[in-house]
Amino acid sequence: MTSIAFNLPRTVTLAADAALLGLAGLHAYMLVAAVHRPGYLVVYCGVMIIGCVVAVGATWIDVDDIVPAAGWVAGAILCMAFMIGYPISRMVSLPGLSALTGRWDLAPGNLALACAVAFLGLYLTVLFGVNVAFGQRRGWYD
Amino acid sequence: MTAIADARPELTDLSPIASGRVSVLVTVRGGYCAACGGTDFAVGQALYLGFLFLDEDDDAYLVALTCRNPSCPQPRTAIRLRYKEFLA
Amino acid sequence: MLLDYPAWLRIDHWLNVLFLTLLLRSGFEILSTHPKLYWHADSAPGTEWARFTRKVMPTNKLYDTLDEEEDYHPLIALPGHRELGMGRHWHFAAVIGWILLGTTYYILLFATGQWHRYWPYSWSIFTEAWNDIVTYACFNLPPLLPGEPLDAIQKLTYAAVIFVLAPFQILTGAAQSPAIEARFPRYVRLFGGRQAARSLHFLGLLAFVVFIVIHLAMVFFWGWGRLTALMIFGSVRNAYWATGLSLLIIAAIVAVHIAATLWSQRSPSSVRRVLGALISLPRKGLLRRLDSRQNYPVRMLSTEHRVNGKPPTAEFYKVMAVHNFVDWRLRVGGLVEQPMTLDLAGLRALAEPQTQRVLHNCVQGWTSVGEWTGLPLGTLVDLVQPLPQARYICFMSMQDNSTDEPSAEGGGQFYEILDLKLAHKPQMLLAYVMNGQPLPIKHGAPLRLRAETQVGFKMAKWINQIEFVDDYAHIGKGRGGWREDNVYYGMDGEI
């Protein structure tokens, strides 16, 4: 049992979903604001945006123990993929996006990193029992 | 003015059977009034001790006894019993 | 208006660091006493939204809120190790200092025109603030506002902390004073209730912690030497000296914290005396005159009123209880013209019973709403006619902490002392009925005190003797009550 615990399933799930939607929104912004839009970028952003939105939706479907948890897992996979992929994309030269090579001072990218870290942080707190997600119950009665 | 109930919620009334068992137990255990030596008691209500008092076992009860000797200076006493001895 | 760094601003800044950190650490000590946060005034077990303890309470035995107390390390709490009395003294003393400091700051800010360093000149600051966030996200430093010492997002943050967060903490803190709640129940309902005020106060603590972390990071990234030179010398010069001096000031503040902790651990009675003298000024001067005017509706009565303190385990008590306290006697005496000994029926017959539905405030921070019926304390006082030299009422309990309460911080018979001047205040009651039924054993049967402008520890339970005295120095350890003796609480319970 953890020495810090919260019983805020809706608040935690809302916050995590906000982080995922932030991640999706920033990818949408990238798509819209990009001067060059190579095909793979469109596909990648599309996958991220749709994936995040679906994950968000799943976290609110409290039908059993599996569906909302699957939403969290999907979100975690997307965030981890971004957290690994984005730094790599800064180090290699992306075809069709040569202007961005080696640049870390990209506000959308850093803000998206912050969103991914926030989501993963919240997910870890749920996994460790510090928080409960929507659909889970605290068995507190003293 | 709020109506005040007199019945104390922690005390339970005993059925005639339970009261009878308590009387028998008092006799069997040689219980007597510390104030006058009498051995005839009226059996009153029971108080469950197990929850409220740390120093009591979980199944401990206290049953009220009142010495029937009219001249007894201190007639009210009690006997400590376990649940299964008089309520089961 | 030149927005620079006048001497008063710099001095206030460093004093603020001292007071704020004292408040944070002592605040954690207070939290540790009941490390659960609720939204509803009932503080019903299991309904908390946050819990900072691993302890699980038994279901087969009565437990009380003393069992739920936690023990925090002195690194986080002042003084740490389950010393609520000390924590409260430090917290209230620091509150006094912080409010005085804040008041001088506000006055000087507005008198000198320096308030514009925090208060925006135009709405465009919000767009500029957003641009600043984007700039920070690019790992760059945004420009300062023209002619000002801060950038837009910093300015908005300082305005929020100084004009919103700080007053918010003071207001939510005040909403936790029993005296203020009793006199102004609607004020507390403004925040959503007593427990909501406590939870919001905690969120304010978190906000201050987050602010401090970001503030320190900002100072670091903008140039520690340069900015501390501004905050120490008032101008950008001798950056190395400034860095050194800033570390010295911080070390001094840390030293004060260490000294406060050690002093509290080694000589709690002198901390109680010294800080208590300071705290009693507003406590007695402002809060004591407040009278309780509570009348909560029946629907707000707590289904499960929390309990603090376990009933007497003495055999005589249990035998009395099983006979519905027919043999219980209340001895009222001491410095009075007409001492008396009363049984329960006699006590009830003394006057028409008074009923009140009130919020009980435990010193630990939990609350419950209950209905109490009994004899107004003032009526008993008038009947026994205290002698002119009588100044205090000592309520003695049948509870013996040596045997009855393993979570107690000491042993011996429980007692509490009340100033005689409080006896005729409204809703001062000797209660023998709770929620329409005879006072339950766990709540103090057959008689307990209700003193609604006071914190709960003053309201002695399991009373069997009331003595009128001229001085309490010779009773117990001489501090005016069992909790005062053993946990070093102040004798007055208005906050």
Domain boundaries along the sequence of chain A: 9-127
Mean pLDDT of A63-73: 91
Please state the φ and ψ torsions of residue A6, each to the nearest 5 degrees: -125, 150
Q: Are C109 and C115 in contact (CB under 8 A)?
A: yes
Q: Cβ-count burial of C115 within 10 angstroms (0-12 exposed, 13-18 middle, 19+ buried)?
A: middle
pLDDT for residue C305: 95
Q: Indicate whether A139 pLDDT > 90.
A: no
Q: Could you report the per-residue pLDDT of C324-375, keeping only the tens digit for each?
A: 999 999 999 999 999 999 999 999 999 999 999 999 999 999 999 999 999 9
Q: Do A7 and C139 touch (CB under 8 A)?
A: no
In this predicted model, what pLDDT tens digit does every residue of C435-466 receive, in sequence order?
999 999 999 999 999 999 999 999 999 999 99
Asked if C494 and C178 touch (Cβ cutoff 8 Å), the reply is yes
Whether C198 and C274 map to the same domain: the answer is yes
The answer to whether C343 contacts chain B (CB < 8 Å) is: no
Q: Distance between CA C340 and CA C325 in Å, rounded?
A: 18
Distance from CA of A58 to the nearest CA of C (A): 24
A35 touches chain C (CB under 8 A): no
C345 touching B (Cβ < 8 Å) = no
Q: Residue C46 falls within a domain, yes or no? A: no
Contacts of C327 in chain B (CB under 8 A): 76
DSSP C8-66: HHHHHHHHHHHHHHHHHHHHHHHHHHS-EE-SSTT--TT--SEE-------SSS---TT
Are residues C340 and C409 located together in one domain of the fold? yes
Residue A141 C-alpha, separation from nearest chain C C-alpha, in angstroms: 4
Predicted confidence at residue C408, as pLDDT, reads 87
Q: Is A120 helix (H, G, I), strand (E, B) or coil?
A: helix
Q: How does the average pLDDT of chain C come out, rounded?
A: 95
Q: Which residues of C357-392 are buried (b: 16+ CB within 10 A; e: fewer)?
A: bbbbbbbbbbbbbbbbbbbbbbbbbebbebeeebbb
Question: CATH code at C376?
Answer: 3.90.420.10
C336/C428 same-domain check: yes
CB contact A141 to C (< 8 Å): yes
**Alpha-helical runs (H) found in chain A:** 9-33, 39-59, 67-91, 107-127
Q: Is the pLDDT of residue C204 over 80?
A: yes
Give how far Cα A26 sits from Cα of A32, A33, C230, Å. 10, 10, 38
- Min mean pLDDT across A30-39, C95-104, C441-450 is at A30-39
Q: Which of C286, C314, C336 is the last residue of a domain?
A: C286
Q: State the total domains in chain C.
A: 2
Q: Could you give the 3-state DSSP secondary structure of residue B47?
A: strand
The answer on C277 and C321 residing in a single domain is no
At residue B2 the predicted structure's pLDDT band, cuts being 50, 70 and 90, is very low
| Cβ contacts of A117 on chain C, cutoff 8 Å | none
Average pLDDT, integer, range C30-55: 95
Chain B neighbors of C437, CB-CB under 8 A: 4-5, 7-9
Interior/surface letters C425-439, b for 16+ CB within 10 angstroms, e for the rest: bbbbbbbbbbbebbb
pLDDT score, position B37: 92
User: If you compute the radius of gyration of chain C from its CA atoms, what whole number of angstroms results?
Assistant: 26
Q: String of b and e for C253-273 (b: at least 16 CB within 10 Å)? A: beeebeebbebbeeebeebbe
Residues of C in contact with B61 (CB under 8 A): none
Q: Contact B2/C433, CB-based, under 8 Å?
A: yes
**A98: confidence class by pLDDT, cuts 50, 70, 90:** confident
Residue C369 shares a structural domain with residue C427: yes
Q: Does the beta-carbon distance from C138 to A4 stay under 8 Å?
A: no
Report how far Cα C226 is from the mean position of its chain's Cα atoms. 40
- Residue C1 pLDDT more than 80? no
Task: Return d(Cα C352, Cα C329) in angstroms, integer.
Answer: 20
Among C residues 297-336, those touching chain B with beta carbons less than 8 Å apart: 310-311, 313, 318-319, 321-324, 326-327
DSSP C270-318: HHHHHHHHHHHHHIIIIITT--------GGGS-SS----SPPP--HHHH
Question: How many angstroms separate the CA atoms of C209 and C223, rounded?
Answer: 21
| Residue among C327, C353, C371 minimizing CB distance to B1 | C353
Pairing label, strands C463-469, C330-334:
parallel
CA distance A137 to C302: 23
Task: Indicate if C227 and C342 belong to the same structural domain.
Answer: no
Surface of C (403-432) touching B: CB under 8 A:
403-404, 406
Note the pLDDT of residue A140: 87
pLDDT over 80 at C111, yes or no: yes
Instruction: Tell me how crowded residue C164 is: count the other CB atoms within 10 A of its CB.
Output: 12
CA C350 from centroid of its chain's CA atoms: 36
| Chain A, nearest residue to C61 by Cα | A142
What distance in Å separates the CA atoms of residue A68 and residue A62, rounded to the nearest whole number?
6
Are A and B close enough to touch, i.e. 3+ CB pairs under 8 angstroms? no
| Cα–Cα distance, B33 to B79 (Å, whole number) | 11
Same domain for C256 and C372: no
To the nearest whole Å, the CA of B42 is away from the closest chain C CA by 12
pLDDT at A89 over 60: yes
Q: Which of B60-64, C407-411, C485-489 has the lowest mean pLDDT?
A: C407-411
- The region that residue C139 occupies, defined by phi over 0 for left and psi between -120 and 50 for alpha, beta otherwise, is left
B54/C441 CB distance under 8 A: no
Distance between CA atoms of C374 and C435, rounded to whole angstroms? 11
Which residues 6+ apart lie within 8 Å of C316 measured at CB? none
The region, left, alpha or beta by phi > 0 then psi within -120 to 50, assigned to residue C146 is beta
CA gap C323, C414 in Å, rounded: 23
B51 vs chain C: nearest CA distance in angstroms? Answer: 4
Our CA-based measurement puts residue C77 at a distance from the nearest CA of chain A, in whole angstroms, of: 16
Per-residue pLDDT reduced to its tens digit, C237-295: 999 999 999 999 999 999 999 999 999 999 999 999 999 999 999 998 999 999 999 99
Helix or strand holding residue C377 (H, E) = helix C377-384
pLDDT surpassing 90 at residue C382? yes
**Interface contact flag, C51 A140, Cβ < 8 Å:** yes
Q: What percent of chain C has pLDDT over 90?
A: 95
What is the predicted pLDDT for the residue at C420? 97
Q: Nearest-CA neighbor of C365 among C97, C50, C58?
A: C50
CATH for C172: 1.20.950.20
Q: Answer yes or no: is pLDDT of C299 > 90.
A: yes
Q: How confident is the model at residue B76 (pLDDT cuts 50, 70, 90)?
A: very high
Q: For chain C, what percentages of helix, strand and coil (3-state, to nearest 5) are there?
A: 50, 15, 40
pLDDT in tens, B14-50: 999 999 999 999 999 999 999 999 999 999 999 999 9
CB contact set of C395 (below 8 Å; sequence gap of 6+): C415, C416, C417, C418, C449, C460, C463, C465, C466
Chains within contact range of chain B (3+ C-beta pairs < 8 Å): C
pLDDT of C74-87, one tens digit each? 999 999 999 999 99
Cβ of C322 within 8 Å of Cβ of B9? The answer is no
Write the single-letter amino acid at C423: A
Helix (H) or strand (E) holding C262: helix C239-266
Asked if residues C234 and C6 have their Cβ atoms less than 8 Å apart, the reply is yes
Q: Rounded CA gap, C93 and C195, in Å?
A: 23
What is the Cα–Cα distance from C472 to C481, expressed in whole angstroms? 9
Beta-carbon count within 10 A of C405 CB: 23
Instruction: Specify the residue for token string 């009075």.
Output: C336
The C-alpha atoms of residue B77 and residue B67 are separated, in whole angstroms, by 8
CA distance A3 to C120: 42
Q: Which of the given ranges, A96-105, C56-65, C411-420, has the highest pLDDT on average?
A: C411-420
Chains contacting A (3 or more CB pairs within 8 Å): C
Amino acid at C446: P
C51 and A1 in contact by Cβ < 8 A? no
Give the model's confidence band at B1: pLDDT under 50 very low, under 70 low, under 90 confident, else very high: very low
What mean pLDDT is predicted for residues C412-420? 96
Residues C331 and A94: their CA atoms lie apart, in Å, by 91
Q: Which of C282, C410, C94, C328 is nearest to B8 (CA)?
A: C328
The reported pLDDT for the residue numbered B3 is 44
Mean pLDDT of C100-104: 97
CB contact under 8 A, B47 and C62: no
Interface of A with C in 92-111 (CB under 8 A): 104-107, 110-111
* Minimum Cα–Cα distance from C313: chain B residue: B53
Question: What tokens were used for C422?
Answer: 């409080």
Please state whether the predicted TM-score (pTM) of the whole model is above 0.95: no
* pLDDT at position A142: 58
Number of A/C CB contacts below 8 angstroms equals 49
**Residue C254 Cα distances to C18, C72, C87, C367, C472, angstroms:** 9, 18, 17, 35, 38
Between CA C92 and CA C95 the distance in angstroms is: 5
Give the H or E element holding residue C354: strand C354-361
Question: Do C198 and C104 share a structural domain?
Answer: yes
CB-CB under 8 Å, B46 with C437: no
Is C276 found in the same domain as C317?
Answer: no
- In the block, tokens 């819209």 appear at A32
Tell me the residue range of the domain where C359 lies. 295-486
Interface check A128 vs C, CB under 8 A: no
User: How far from chain centre, in Å, is Cα C9?
Assistant: 30
Model confidence at B5, pLDDT cuts 50, 70, 90, reads: low
Identify the residue with better confidence: C406 or C437: C437
Strand duo B60-67 + B76-82: pairing = antiparallel
**Interface predicted TM-score of the whole assembly (ipTM), two decimals:** 0.95
Report which DSSP code applies to B86. Answer: H
Q: Assess whether C315 and C269 both reside in one domain.
A: no
Q: Is the pLDDT of residue A92 over 90?
A: no
Of C47, C49, C135, the CB nearest to A8: C49
Find all residues with CB under 8 Å of C351, minimum gap 6, and list them.
C375, C376, C379
Q: Which tens digits make up the pLDDT trace of C127-168?
A: 999 999 999 999 999 999 998 999 999 999 999 999 999 999
